[in-house]
Amino acid sequence: MRRPAILPDTYRRSKTHMSQFENVTVVKQANIYFDGKVTSRTVLFADGTKKTLGIMLPGEYEFGTAAAEVMEILSGELTVKLPGSDDWVRYTAGSSFSVPADSKFELHITAVTDYCCSYGD
- Where residue 61 sits, what CATH number does that domain have? 2.60.120.10
What is the DSSP-derived secondary structure letter of residue 98?
A: E
Q: How many CA atoms lie within 13 A of 19 on its CB side?
A: 0
Strand partners, 13: 95
- Please, are residues 45 and 21 in contact by the beta-carbon 8 Å criterion? yes
- Whether 105 is covered by a domain: the verdict is yes
Residue 77 falls within a domain, yes or no?
yes
pLDDT in tens, the chain (121 residues): 444 444 433 334 434 456 788 889 999 999 999 999 999 999 999 999 999 999 999 999 999 999 999 999 999 999 999 999 999 999 999 999 999 999 999 999 999 999 999 998 6
Q: How do strand 69-81 and strand 38-45 relate by DSSP bridges?
A: unpaired
pLDDT at residue 82, rounded to an integer: 97
Q: In sequence order, what are the residues at sequence separation of 6 or more whose Cβ sits closer than 8 angstroms to the Cβ of residue 27?
A: 41, 42, 43, 44
Q: How many domains does the chain have?
A: 1
Please name the residues in contact with 74: beta carbons below 8 A apart, sequence gap of 6 or more.
93, 114, 115, 116
CB-CB neighbours of 48 under 10 Å: 6
pLDDT at position 18, please? 62
Burial of 99 from C-beta contacts in 10 A (0-12 / 13-18 / 19+): buried
Residue 83, domain extent: 53-119
